[in-house]
Amino acid sequence: MYIETSKKIAVENYPYGRTVTTIFYSMEFNPKKGFRQVTQTVDPKTGKLNKPKQGQYCDFSIREFTDGQVKRTCLKVNGGERLNDVARFCAQPEVFNVLTEQERKYLYELCILGSRAHMKAQVIYCGSEVKDLIPLFDPFVQAAVKGHKNPNENHFPEMSLPIEQIEALKKPDFNPFKIVNYGFPSQY
């Protein structure tokens, strides 16, 4: 069962030195930074809450409560296959339905920006032509734009980049990093 970002979960019998205590799991979302998990334990000696421990921000993160434990899935949005992973994961109704409207808009926007960066990298580092890449990226981007405009509709199932076709457009033996000799003596 996936958990909403704003929901705080308490888990009993969490190891705390030689004893056990209660731990609280929560998630923070910042539209400029992403998602991060926050944990806070209860000091068993005093019964007071310890200082919260904030994790690192991740592009996308969601929690799942199974078998009395909180498990977290963290996904990055860089590169074609990872963009497809995020879209497949968010396409699941049980994931899509726990995300807020703001979180969905953020994820659609992140997918648009990630696909743009991936296309630019294909041109710069692989020698692919923009005119050949646009028809491959366009359906993914158009679905993300529709989702961003109406975040209450799940457009993630329509988002899939054809990785093999994109890879096939790489120029063989393309090397953007050329070694230039400026005439320095060989001893340098």
- Which string of DSSP letters, residue by residue, matches 104-147? HHHHHHHHHHHHHHHHHHHHHHH---HHHHHHHHHHHHHHHHHH
> Considering 74, 94, 121, which residue would you say is the last residue of a domain?
74
Those residues whose C-beta lies under 8 Å from the C-beta of residue 57, and which sit 6 or more positions away, are 30, 33, 34, 35, 36
Burial code (b: 16+ CB inside 10 Å, e: under 16) for 83-109 equals bbebbebbbeeebbebbeeebbbbbbe
Query: What's the total number of domains in the chain?
Result: 2
Answer yes or no: is 44 within a domain.
Answer: yes
Task: Taking the CA atoms of 52, 57, 58 and 60 in sequence, report the sign of the dihedral they define.
Answer: positive
Answer yes or no: is 151 within a domain.
Answer: yes
Low-confidence ranges of the chain (pLDDT < 50): none
**Residue from 63, 1, 68 nearest 29 by CA:** 63
Answer yes or no: is 182 within a domain.
Answer: no
Q: What is the pTM of this model?
A: 0.86
51 and 93 inside one domain:
no
* Domain span holding position 45: 2-74
> What size, in residues, is the chain?
188
Residue range 85-124, pLDDT digits in tens: 999 999 999 999 999 999 999 999 999 999 999 999 999 9
CA 106, CA 137: separation in Å to the nearest integer?
19
Whole-number pLDDT of residue 177: 84
51 and 97 inside one domain:
no
98 and 125 inside one domain:
yes
Q: Do the beta carbons of residue 3 and residue 9 sit within 8 Å?
A: yes
64 and 143 inside one domain:
no
107 and 149 inside one domain:
yes
Whole-number pLDDT of residue 131: 96
Answer yes or no: is 58 within a domain.
Answer: yes
**Residue from 32, 99, 92 nearest 61 by CA:** 99
53 and 94 inside one domain:
no
> Considering 52, 74, 96, which residue would you say is the last residue of a domain?
74
